[in-house]
Each structure stands twice: as C-alpha cells, then as structure tokens.
Structure 1
Amino acid sequence: MAAFSVFVTQTFQSKLLKQDKNFKLWVEKVFDQLAVNPFAGKLLGVKWFREKKFENFTVYFLVFEKKKSVYVVNLSSKKDQQRIINSIWLLLGTYKKELEDLLAK
C-alpha cells in the first residue's frame, strides 16, 4: 500500500507528453517507487529536494513529508539541468501552494 501520494505539475505533465514510450513507462515505475519510498533518488542539497535520472533526462521532485506527498515538478535534459534546478529553488513557494490546493480537492 502506498504511504505517499504522488502529484505532478502542469509543466512536468506537458514535457512528459513529448517523451517516448520507454521514458513514460520508466516514469510510471518511478511514481510507484516514490509512493512507497519518497526519498529514492539523489538528494539535491536538502533531504526534500531530489532527482531521478534516466538516460539523458532528469526528473525533479519535492518530498513533503508532513503532507505524505511527493510533488514531481520538472524534467530536464543534461544541458538544461542547472537552469531547471535554479528555477525550482525560485518557485518553491509556488509549488508548496499548488500542492496545498491539490490536497484540498
């Protein structure tokens, strides 16, 4: 049984739609894994900001332990990695509010 709920941003969802079938299948498996073990993947400076990699792509997610939720916020290729990480740091407040709104539904 899943201990955590997994949510995605619209940004992540739109980027995912452009990916191939193998990547989408891998993402489904990652979501299943995160529901059971939200701290899977490599941490990015703090316990609650993490990444999982597949070939040339990286999926970024935030773990909200008290809310029992994982918020998958973005996806990048190798060349965009630092730009995406920087934007996630800037948008942390927005992501927290979005997740609270999703949980309130």
Structure 2
Amino acid sequence: MANELPENIAQTLERYRNPPNRLRSAQEILARYKLALETYKKICFTSGDVRDQKIATHAEIKMLGWVLGKPDKDVIRDIAAHSNRVIFPGQYQ
C-alpha cells in the first residue's frame, strides 16, 4: 500500500498522459504563432546544424498561419521578417 499513489495524483498523471481533445481559442493559436516566429528567429541566428529544427518550425508556422486564416503571402512575410535572410524590395508583396 505504501507504493500506491493518492487518487488525485493518479488522475493528474492520467490526464497528463492522455490530454483531452479540445479546440484552441484564436488567442491561443495566435500566441503559439508568435512564439513559433520567435523560436524561428533564434534558430536562424544559431550556428551549427539546425536545418531539421528550422524546417519543423517553418512548417509549424505555416500550419498555424493557415489555421488563423492568414494568406500564405503574409505568413511568408512574417517568416522572412524573423529570419536572417535578406529581403529585397518588392519581394513577398
């Protein structure tokens, strides 16, 4: 009996392992979008082999932008603004 967890801790652990499926609010999605852009910015300015992280974060930003209903051009502009790539006048307009 000493090895058993109290019921509320067991329930908390079960909820953590199997989170409930629920819709996210627009504010939560927008916050995650902005956080992903900041993460992308950090990755771009990191030295070393971060290609996989960069691709995964780029895909997440594109998906969140789609969920928010942003035009693809605006999402690409946001990504470019948070990267270390040079943006030429007239690009992504």
Computing the radius of gyration from Cα coordinates, the structure with the larger value is 2
Q: Could you state the TM-score of these two structures normalised by the residue count of structure 2?
A: 0.25
Give the helix-richer structure, 1 or 2: 2
Give the strand-richer structure, 1 or 2: 1
Q: Could you state the TM-score of these two structures normalised by the residue count of structure 1?
A: 0.23
